[in-house]
């Protein structure tokens, strides 16, 4: 897919799991497109547990 579907410049995006090959590529693309990517890692917060997410 070519071109931009949404204008995401200067938007804050949550990037969960951006360390592996599947997650790091989209994170790099979002940063290159001018997004502020807030990276959330499993070691920091358990995204499968609602209370852990609410506390972060």
Q: How many domains does the chain have?
A: 1
| pLDDT over 60 at 1, yes or no | no
In a domain, 29, yes or no: yes
pTM: 0.61
Domain that holds residue 19: 12-55
Q: Please report whether residue 36 resides in a domain.
A: yes
Sign of the dihedral through C-alpha 40, 49, 11, 26? positive
> Would you say residue 51 has pLDDT above 70?
yes
The residue that leads in pLDDT, 43 or 29, is 29
Domain-embedded: residue 33? yes
Question: Is pLDDT of 18 > 80?
Answer: no
Whether residue 1 lies inside any domain: the answer is no
Q: Is residue 25 within 8 Å of residue 17, measured between CB atoms?
A: no
Q: How confident is the model at residue 34 (pLDDT cuts 50, 70, 90)?
A: very high
Share of the chain above pLDDT 70, in %: 86
């Amino acid at each position: 897919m070519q071109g931009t579907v949404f204008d995401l410049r200067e938007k804050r995006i949550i990037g969960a799991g951006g360390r592996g090959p599947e997650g790091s590529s989209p994170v790099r693309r979002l940063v290159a497109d001018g997004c502020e990517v807030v990276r959330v890692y499993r070691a920091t917060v358990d995204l499968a547990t609602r209370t852990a997410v609410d506390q972060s």
